[in-house]
Amino acid sequence: MDTAGTDTTLDITATPEWAALADHHRTLAGRHLRDLFAEDPDRGRRLTADAGDLHLDWSKHRVTDETVRLLVALAERAGLRERIDAMFRGEHVNPTEDRAVLHVALRAPAGAALTVDGQDVTGDVHGVLARMRSFAGRVRSGEWRGHTGQPIRAVVNIGIGGSDLGPAMAYTALRDSTDRGVTARFVSNVDPTDFAEATLGLDPAQTLFVVSSKTFTTLETLTNARVARQWLLDGLGGEESAVAKHFVAVSTNTDAVREFGIDPENMFEFWDWVGGRYSFTSAIGLSLMVAIGPDAYDEMLAGFHTIDEHFRTAPFAANLPVLQGLLNVWYTDFFGAQTHAVLPYSQYLSRLPAYLQQLTMESNGKSVRWDGQPATTATGEVYWGEPGTNGQHAFHQLLHQGTTLVPADFIGFGEPNHDIGEMHDLLMANMFAQSAVLAFGRTAEEVAADGTPAELVPHKVMPGNRPSTTILAPKLTPSTLGQLVALYEHTVMTQGVIWQIDSFDQWGVELGKVMARELEPALTSAEAPRVDQDPSTTALVEHYRRLRGR
């Protein structure tokens, strides 16, 4: 048992519940979705579930009621209920870092009783939210003035990973709700092009940088922040006092913020019980709040909270994140699927796949269980995707006729953000058509009946039987975006618990960071350096130095 009361030595594949699923898979694997629908035509209406504004249709999955019953039994056996409760109680469900995981507290209403190590946290959360609201209001109204007395017209978030992807994705998603008078830009990459392009055309006198970093030690972010500082000073005559009016920080590390030269008065705090990729609704959302305004931001938090509560309370068989997580386990572990496509039929959600890549792959890309033993299951899928209909003209060919099984999520909305002629209906018709063709395909007989020449028939057969979920919401709004993101956050946790892995650490990213720091002098030193690396890396460094004329 770990501190959160879970049997961390359980090998889930050795349980009777796993064996029952393996048996069941043998009977179901050869069955086609066409047959499942023929037997149960009502499943299109029946195999759906709702939470908040989200309607989730999972009828086009290779499952029956029995599959769901067995998957739910697996979740119970894995201790998912206890783990969810432990998370909400603020217990240390991140064992390798010995930390609580309480991003749900970031969107809980004031007064909710959530504690970490005996300390109430909702009071702290709402204290920071109040400061964010006041700051965002002052920037938006023009009351916050830059060094030369001009109002702020551009907010540049400097951060990477979880300190970038959430607000960057949401800024694109919620463009419709933004104050178009204040633009937000995002710098993440240590590639100098990123900074150069993000600041192109900006007036330093009207630009505010939000340096966002949980640790405030991340090489990329601190490098970009130093470059930004110089850019500002160069643009405003070099007076150090300008920094205070043009830089704020979001971090858990007050000392490092002070050391960087940002007054902790201008720092928005969060806490180590918020994981980087789960930090979107912490003060990391500050640039987004400036862009969309505190009211819309509150609506987004309320959307998150709706799904948090649903996850906490709904029975597993009607619990959207649990169902979604269990279906992912079903395909990953029993059908051998290795990737998962996210296909939002909304151009505004173009960054959602990138956001979900960090959320899912940094969380569940693990091969060791909680107890340090090798994982006995396959774990995290490769997430990828693009908005429809663009993806249809690019990679859907493989989804339809390739040899790889790719479960897909289709995400669409009833009402468009911009209603232009019939365009939205056309967009949605495409979405419904894609999931139908994936599921039902087209048989050789059907193709031949169209008069297709015999030699072309095999090329035009659409195998079908390719599973997908359809998620429908009334309209893309701050609230529905919050609901969607929370759905995926809790889906990730569900899978992690079944796989008995720590979805909240990320040790695998550390070694590369250390090595990059070690290698940098070898790239930049004037004399030919000794590179203490493998022969391949040494040869690449030598080649790079020649390219740089060193």
Can you give the binding site for ligand F6P, defined by CB under 6 A? Answer: 160-163, 213-215, 218, 221, 276-277, 362, 506, 509
Q: Which of 239, 393, 415, 520 is catalytic?
A: 393
| C-beta closer to ligand F6P: residue 297 or 355 | 355
8-state DSSP, 282: T
How far the first Cα of the chain sits from its last, in Å, is 56
Identify the DSSP state of 216: S
Helix (H) / strand (E) containing 116: strand 115-116
Residue among 251 and 389 whose Cβ is closer to ligand F6P? 251
CB of 275 to ligand F6P, least distance (A): 7
Compute the C-alpha angle 88/356/67, nearest 5°.
70
Q: Give the residue with the Cβ less far from ligand F6P, 218 or 435.
A: 218
Q: If you search the block for the tokens 């048996």, which residue do you land on? A: 23
Can you tell me the distance from the alpha carbon of 538 to that of 522, in angstroms, rounded to the nearest whole number?
9
Which residue, 52 or 159, is less far from ligand F6P as judged by CB? 159
Nearest-angstrom CA–CA distance, 68 and 319: 12
Q: Would you put residue 321 in left (φ > 0), alpha (ψ -120 to 50) or beta?
A: alpha
The catalytically annotated residue of 362, 381, 386, 489 is 362
Tokens of 62: 């290779």
Min dist. Cβ of residue 228 to ligand F6P (A): 15
Any idea what the Cα angle at residue 432 is, between residues 431 and 436, rounded to 5°?
A: 120
- Write the DSSP string, 191-211: SHHHHHHHHTT--GGGEEEEE
Q: Is the peptide bond before 389 cis (omega within 30 degrees of 0)?
A: yes
Which sign does the torsion angle of CA 275, 278, 282, 287 carry? positive
Distance CA 4, CA 156 (A): 39
Q: How far is the CB of 165 from ligand F6P (least distance, A)?
A: 8
The closest residue (CB) to ligand F6P is 276
| Residue among 284 and 408 whose Cβ is closer to ligand F6P | 284
- 60 assigned to active site: no
Q: 359 vs 472, which CB is nearer to ligand F6P?
A: 359
DSSP secondary structure of 15-49: SHHHHHHHHHHHHHTT--HHHHHHH-TTHHHHSEE
Q: C-alpha angle with apex 57: 52 to 46, nearest 5 degrees?
A: 100
Catalytic residue among 415, 513, 518, 543: 513
Whether residue 362 lies in the annotated active site: yes
111 within 8 A of 269, measured Cβ to Cβ: no
Nearer to ligand F6P, 194 or 362 (CB): 362
User: Amino acid identity of 292?
Assistant: I
Q: How far is the CB of 418 from ligand F6P (least distance, A)?
A: 32
- Tell me which residues are annotated as active site: 362, 393, 513
